[in-house]
Structure 1
Amino acid sequence: MSSPSSNPPDSLKSELKEIPDLSQHLVEIEIEKDPEKGFGFNIVGGTDEPYVPGCTGIFISRINPEGPAAKDGRLRLGDRIAALNDISLASKTHSDAVDIFRQASGKVRLLIEQDAETLLLSYNEASDTYGNG
């Protein structure tokens, strides 16, 4: 069951200010890792491989139709994963983030910024258009 998270951990608050209103799109999702299929999604991004210009976050790039994420139905392409079990992914390299997901087992909590890719790209376009970026 997802519900808006109104109070993200203090360690994440400063990392959620890339867009002033992005924290309004936060939800916490619990999902069970399949021992063979993993979580059923691929990720892109990281401090060493930014996916969205100006943002080093970790984003969902693919959802396996047979995996737990697709069966759950709440994760979408372009969602940013802010944290896994309260471990912030905002300052992680891509390989560090992959390792965190590989080491996780059973049911985990994901802090998700829904539609973050679209929101960040729109914000970047507006900043460029109006000379704010």
Structure 2
Amino acid sequence: MKFSTMNDSEIIADLCCRIKDARIEQRLSQIELAERSGLGIATIKRAEMGGSVTLSTLICILRGLNRLHQLEGVLFDTEVRAFNAQVSGEKANTPLRIRKKAATVDEADKPLVEKSADASAVDWYISAAENNILW
């Protein structure tokens, strides 16, 4: 199924159908899935009917279905690039933060003190990212 050609409500309906199909395939009742997921029966019913669920609820349902590993494919390319950069000893060339530039300033116009402060901040962010520091 091509999600790129579907609107949001069609994608939600398809995902909810897949959750229900996976539950039935495993011969689980909604009550059993709720117990395995650590959620209430009403939450399972709402998820299967296309109601609003949080990302945390979806993770619990996938864990209850023993399908949590399937989330790894969502951002797999990013994981591979980071791994390849780590193996080769290169720094990942992904931007640390994307933001709109307020004004264009020529690099030659910047004072030397500001340039070194920017470099140390970038080094700190890279170090924090490499050491998995969350803030």
Give the TM-score range, shorter chain. Answer: under 0.3
TM-score, normalising length from structure 1?
0.24
Larger radius of gyration: 2
Structure with more of its chain in strand, by fraction: 1
Q: Answer 1 or 2: higher relative contact order, Cα 8 Å, separation at least 6.
A: 1
Structure with more of its chain in helix, by fraction: 2
TM-score, normalising length from structure 2?
0.24
